[in-house]
Structure 1
């Protein structure tokens, strides 16, 4: 990565600080906690945000829940259950996004590849990706989201006749969800990996790998930073550089099959990449 030299100097400086820091100090505690939760990202984040502030918006607990997730839950309470809400006011690129996903999925599903029995849509929202990409391919779907309003709208309104082919809806936070083993041909995560800490994303991917049927594939489609990482403390999303995301995936023990950039989006939008793995 083009910024690796600067980042390595920062990493070396923190390593020196670690050696000299009193292990019983509050600074060490905060730093050590961040390093566990954001093992692939924390140094990039510390280049932008002071340690104390970064800890407060990520690892600090509010009402028994980690603030990183508490803030996201609060943010989505105000997001309307509509395509506009799901696309963050970029609804005009929705069809471009769906077509890119269809073409990428097509590479991995079919004879000698992943089957078409069942898929899981993680962070499904109202079912935009399920309806536009997954239902036309798979016999049945299971859908997961942390917002009850989104799931109800999907079932009662948005999915139409496709709702009859939903085997299960899961009202869960992804970091707490354990899918059944050997159940899915495809697991799709779109614009949801960015809402997990590095540690929770890694651990979910490990569980997801065990839930794949033979030749099954996991897909991540998400915003990727042009360099380093960027944290949005409002909706608790972390945009990682593609190489950082690959690090988390490989640490989880998965093999990356293919990586492709979503084309056709305006240049002003953060780059979106698709990753297939098993």
Structure 2
């Protein structure tokens, strides 16, 4: 079983990420991280974090803290897709700059499935994950976020999930293309399972447990889904688990436990990864890992070494790490 994690550290915070404070020393009098100077630093308060996000607009601009209307989302999404394709070139069915002469293999018997945790309104699922995978399990604790994602997907706003009401020429064209791809063994149809749930005590294999609320399934074309397994199995196994701008709401113990369970939820074999894309503050002197509590949204910003310490404790190996380029200078460094 794969035991690697792609530490995709990016260079920017947002509410969809952990969120934005400059990667410099806090101003005098700031409460940021002050409590962590004590011997027993407090961790994030889950309920306080939910309360904070309940006050944020369920829009790209809302979850990205005001950066959603410029180039930031496009740059960030493109970087994530390129990273996925560079590590798993078989996700691309055609030649591209990363794999100019790909050895095209038959589709695997199973439906390629990805878990998107702390997914917000589904921005990453919609633009990064669903175009490359067959099935997505979208998991988000904030009610209005997950319901907005479900509304947009089920109404045909997601390109890979065209509406099937026959009223829009472009929607019908996309449906016909999907059906042709399925008949030509170039695709299997797409599905997204929307689940309202937090990460605390989550076992990714069983995303719909007693703490979860199933919001709904969006599938297109509905009657032409091929392939084994996928997001609707009683026990879900994943090709990729994607964690972006959400793990800061977990304390150290909960985070390590989640990563251990996530590792066990990956399919056996190669090309199966956990991706972590988060903001990073500076390490303490001597390269020692540290973390700072943002009391506004009750989340932790961890330094590079602190993330690595968590991965090692969870039994993971860092396969690759990248800094997200093209982000505003005033924001934290983002790594994947």
Query: Shorter-chain-normalised TM-score: which range?
Result: 0.7 to 0.9
Distance 1:47 1:79, change over 3 A: closer
Q: CA deviation at 1:236?
A: 1.1
Q: CA deviation at 1:169?
A: 1.9
Residue aligned with 2:321, SS: strand
**Which sections of structure 2, spanning at least 5 residues, go unmatched?**
1-32, 91-102, 163-189, 206-234, 284-289
Q: Which has the higher contact order (CA 8 A, sep 6+)?
A: 2
Task: Decide whether the 8 Å contact of 1:226 with 1:271 is kept in 2.
Answer: no
Matches of 2:161 and 2:37, distance apart in 1: 44
RMSD: 2.5
What pairs up with 1:107-256 in 2 under 5 angstroms? 107-111=86-90, 117-157=112-152, 160-161=157-158, 162=160, 165-180=190-205, 183-214=237-268, 215=270, 216-227=272-283, 228-256=290-318
Higher helix residue share: 1
Distance 1:200 1:48, change over 3 A: closer
Q: CA deviation at 1:229?
A: 2.2
Normalising by structure 2, report the TM-score.
0.60
Q: CA deviation at 1:193?
A: 1.1
Normalising by structure 1, report the TM-score.
0.72
What pairs up with 1:21-32 in 2 under 5 angstroms? none
**Which sections of structure 1, spanning at least 5 residues, go unmatched?**
1-44, 59-66
Task: Decide whether the 8 Å contact of 1:124 with 1:130 is kept in 2.
Answer: yes
Matches of 1:194 and 1:222, distance apart in 2: 8
What pairs up with 1:5-44 in 2 under 5 angstroms? none
What pairs up with 1:13-92 in 2 under 5 angstroms? 49-50=37-38, 54-55=41-42, 58=43, 68-91=45-68, 92=70
Task: Decide whether the 8 Å contact of 2:204 with 2:236 is kept in 1.
Answer: no
